[in-house]
Structures are given as C-alpha cells and as structure tokens.
Amino acid sequence: MDLVDETFVVAHPEVVAAVVHDRDRWRAWWPDLDLTVFMDRATSGLRWTATGALVGSLELWLEPVRDGVVVHLYLRADPPQPVDRRRADRLRRRRALDWKVSVNALKDELEAGRRPGEPRVKDPVGPADTESRDPG
C-alpha cells in the first residue's frame, strides 16, 4: 500500500513539529500501528518503521510554505498477511479517510481563531519577534 497526502496548515513550523513529535498523537492517529522512529528530522518531521496492522514505513515531512506548513504523509506498508486487491483497495481508502479526519482536526486545532485567508494568528515568541519587544 502506498498512500501520499498533503495538507496545508497555517501554523508556525515549530508548533506543527512539536505536535508531530508527540507520541500520544501517533497513538491517536494510528492506534493499530507500533511505530519506531528511525529518522528524527527535527522541525522537518519524522520517519518511522511500522509494525502491527501494517508493516513498512511511515513519514510525516513538514515543509514550511509562506505562513504555514505543508504536512506531507508518506505511508509505504502492507498488511502482515497477503490480501486480495479489493481488500487492499478498501484498506488503503480507509487509511486515507482516517488520516484526512486526523490531519483536518489538527488543522482546526492549530488554526483556531484564524479566519480563512488571514495570516497566522500568533507565532511563538522568539528572537524574530520584534513587535512585542519594548525598544527602550
């Protein structure tokens, strides 16, 4: 099974990366998979080996774009036991729909309070945050 998805989230890349690194989120997004990180790409995402209901690899690549992040999902895995093509197609479709529900919930969470078409509501405070600093 190969599954690819891209979803744009209007949020600071470090905020999205923090969510992606939260192990509790992994269990919520893929409850039937046992994931082992084999490449931690920091704010660029994670790559896992997957076992359980599927065996293979899973990646979330976070690509900063304008005032947000494109969350790229790459799932390359198969059921541990062979299945016929119809069953494989149903499993892939179910995975795609489940992921869209999860990533859209994340989008809603991180974009809360932002109206469509508007830039990010708030960025984390850091060295580039000059508007909130007192100049004198």
In tens, the pLDDT along 76-113 reads 999 999 999 999 999 999 999 999 999 999 999 999 88
What pLDDT does 124 receive?
56
Q: ∠ CA 73-101-44 to the nearest 5 degrees?
A: 30
Residue with tokens 């299945």: 83
* Pairing assessment for the beta strands 55-65 and 45-52 based on DSSP bridges: antiparallel
pLDDT at 131 over 70: no
Task: Tell me the mean pLDDT in the region 17-44.
Answer: 96
Specify the length of the chain in residues. 136
What pLDDT does 128 receive?
42
Task: Tell me the mean pLDDT in the region 106-135.
Answer: 64
Task: Tell me the mean pLDDT in the region 44-71.
Answer: 96
**What would the CATH number be for the domain defined by 2-110?**
3.30.530.20
CA distance 57 to 78: 9
pLDDT at 116 over 80: no
In the three-class reduction of DSSP (H, G, I as helix; E, B as strand; rest coil), residue 74 is classed as strand
Q: Which residues contact 52 (CB under 8 A, 6 or more apart)?
A: 32, 33, 34
CA distance 98 to 70: 18
Domain residue limits, the chain: 2-110
